[in-house]
Amino acid sequence: MQNFFVLLGGQSMITQLRIMENKQTVIHFALCAPEELDESDRKLVELARQATHTAYAPYSHFCVGAALLLEGGTCVCGSNQENAAFGAGTCAERTALFYAHAQYPDAAVKAIAIAARGTDGEFTQQPIAPCGVCRQALLEAQKRGGQPIRLLLAGRTTVTVMEGVECVLPFAFEEIV
């Protein structure tokens, strides 16, 4: 397993401004092989992969699956559901999140695994990350649950692991450093 961090906060643009204070934020993530995950995480990745087969994606042909682990051990899956009126469709992550809250409103989300198959029908080589809207929805679920949601972004041979939604959404709506 390899651990990484990314520093956000460039100097070149902000040096043109009057600066009261310079700040940086750090994003931690780990890259690991699927077999390095513990059994619970491996199972969640497998459920996300299976969920890609329930996608309704006649327009993008990009099939995404998401699997949530809820407090208490229940798993809930979702997939992207498209529509001819594009804005009416929704992503796999929000399909799973909203279903989970509708069925288990008191259960905190502990982890989410996300996997995708591309237009060739194969799982993507690289992990895919949730879109901006889903990041915001995940952050709210995390706040509601009162504990970090572990992200498992599954590529074909590597999984990116992050401990908390803020790792993919450092400057969230209504929240600034």
The set of residues, in sequence order, having a beta carbon less than 8 Å from that of 122 and lying 6+ positions away, is 156
Count of residues that interact with Zn ion, criterion CB under 5 A? 3
Told to judge if 35 belongs to the known catalytic residues of this protein, a careful annotator would answer: no
Enumerate residues 131-150 that contact Zn ion by CB under 5 A.
Answer: 131, 134
Residues in region 46-105 near Zn ion by CB under 5 A: 91
Q: Which stretch binds Zn ion (CB under 5 A): 21-29, 43-51, 128-136, 169-177?
A: 128-136
Cα–Cα distance, 136 to 141 (Å, whole number): 9
The one catalytic residue among 21, 39, 82, 93: 93
Closest CA to 37 of 143, 93, 115: 115
Q: Where are the alpha helices (DSSP H) in the chain?
A: 39-51, 92-103, 132-145
Q: Least distance in Å: CB of 130 to Zn ion?
A: 5
Helix (H, G, I), strand (E, B) or coil at 44: helix
Q: Which is nearer to Zn ion, 79 or 158 (CB)?
A: 79
Task: Enumerate binding residues for Zn ion (CB under 5 A).
Answer: 91, 131, 134
Catalytic residue numbers? 93
